[in-house]
């Protein structure tokens, strides 16, 4: 089985880190093909960057090599629905996957993320996916995404402290890590906190393997049907079909 793992930002170091986390959890027969857009921001920490990154995800899935499942590895799930129109494979966003997993492990969960300004993006996803009842709080740490590439003990301690405070304040039973760049910290934090800590990259890979193994893919019916044949102009020309 081949999983196309799309890092929506253009940090090659982060793509490599996410790929390593995915390979560590993937089944022996699963190949992880890690890609990133050919354009766009190095990290995604706001609406503008997310919009550009969504086009980058659409590009990568539209032009992808054959695959059995797709994982979009950024907590804003940029381009998730666009990707579902251009592949018949299952497509999982790490936020959507993490919310589902967390809601099966605790009655309430808290999200601990990077920059406070990204909290509203996660909040909107909670509403879009219908997790208002189980998501009890979303907390920024003001750690820039790219700082997670060289994550020292101080950064881990800040995330741990934010998670402890969130568990207390929100009366939550689980923590969702709100950035793909936190994947490598998941087991350390789970050990220290003593509650389920959910990394969306890992759960999305396992859900993707499960759905693909069941022969389940994205619906081709209705709004997830392939885009209509159309000429695209400018830099997007290779993404169209006449």
- Does position 60 bind ligand 2AL by CB under 6 A? no
The DSSP secondary structure of 46-89, one letter per residue, reads SHHHHHHHHHHHHHHHHTPPP-SEEEE-STT-TTHHHHHHS-SS
| Residues 111-140 interacting with ligand 2AL (rule: CB under 6 A) | 113-114, 118
Q: Based on the shown chain and the rule CB under 6 A, indicate whether residue 98 belongs to the binding site for ligand 2AL.
A: no
Q: Does 74 bind ligand 2AL (CB under 6 A)?
A: yes
Near ligand 2AL by CB under 6 A: residue from 92, 180, 183, 212 = 180
Residue 15 interacts with ligand 2AL (CB under 6 A): yes or no: no
Q: Is 208 in the site for ligand 2AL (CB under 6 A)?
A: no
95 and 77 in contact (C-beta within 8 Å)? yes
User: Is 43 or 87 the residue whose CB approaches ligand 2AL more closely?
Assistant: 43
179 binds ligand 2AL (CB under 6 A): yes
Bridge partners, 118 (sequence order): none
The residue among 117 and 171 lying less far from ligand 2AL, judged by its C-beta, is: 117
For the packed helices 94-105 and 200-213, what is the interaxial angle rounded to 10 degrees? 90
DSSP SS3 for 130: coil
Rounded Cα distance, 171 and 204, in Å: 25
Locate 203 and state its tokens.
């759960």
How far apart CA 83 and CA 55 sit, in angstroms, is 10
Query: Is the CB of 148 or the CB of 171 nearer to ligand 2AL?
Result: 148
Instruction: Tell the smallest beta-carbon distance from residue 213 to ligand 2AL (Å).
Output: 26
Binding status of residue 103 toward ligand 2AL by CB under 6 A: no
N-terminal to C-terminal alpha carbon distance within the chain: 31
Three-state secondary structure of 161-186: HHHHHHHHHHCCCEEEEECHHHHHHH
Q: Which CB atom, from 44 or from 106, has the smaller least distance to ligand 2AL? A: 44
The span from the CA of 161 to the CA of 13, in Å, is: 26
**Contacting range for ligand 2AL; rule: CB under 6 A; set: 69-77, 84-92, 204-212, 226-234:** 69-77
**Residues 31-50 within binding reach of ligand 2AL (CB under 6 A):** 43-45
Can residue 9 be called a binding residue for ligand 2AL (CB under 6 A)?
yes
Task: Please report whether residue 141 would count as binding ligand 2AL according to CB under 6 A.
Answer: no
Assess 162 for contact with ligand 2AL (CB under 6 A): no
Q: Which residues bind ligand 2AL (CB under 6 A)?
A: 9, 43-45, 74-76, 113-114, 118, 145, 178-181
């Amino acid at each position: 089985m081949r999983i196309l793992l799309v890092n929506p930002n253009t940090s090659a170091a982060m793509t490599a880190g996410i790929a390593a986390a995915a390979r560590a959890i993937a089944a022996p027969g699963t190949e992880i093909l890690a890609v990133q857009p050919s354009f766009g921001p190095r990290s995604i920490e706001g609406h503008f960057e997310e919009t550009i990154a969504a086009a980058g995800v659409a590009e990568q899935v539209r032009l992808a090599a054959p695959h059995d499942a797709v994982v979009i590895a950024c907590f804003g799930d940029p381009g998730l629905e666009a990707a579902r129109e251009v592949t018949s494979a299952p497509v999982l966003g790490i936020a959507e996957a993490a919310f589902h997993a967390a809601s099966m492990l605790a009655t309430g969960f808290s999200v601990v993320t990077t920059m406070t300004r990204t909290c509203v993006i996660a909040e909107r996803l909670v509403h879009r996916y219908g997790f208002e009842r189980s998501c009890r709080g979303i907390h920024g740490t003001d750690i820039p995404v790219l700082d997670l590439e060289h994550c020292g003990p101080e950064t881990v301690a800040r995330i741990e402290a934010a998670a402890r405070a969130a568990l207390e304040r929100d009366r939550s039973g689980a923590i969702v890590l709100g950035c793909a760049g936190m994947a490598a910290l998941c087991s350390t934090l789970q050990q220290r906190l003593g509650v389920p800590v959910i990394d969306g990259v890992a759960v999305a890979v396992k859900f993707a393997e499960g759905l693909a193994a069941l022969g389940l893919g994205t619906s081709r019916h209705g709004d997830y049907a392939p885009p209509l044949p159309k000429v695209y102009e400018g830099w997007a020309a290779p993404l169209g079909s006449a």
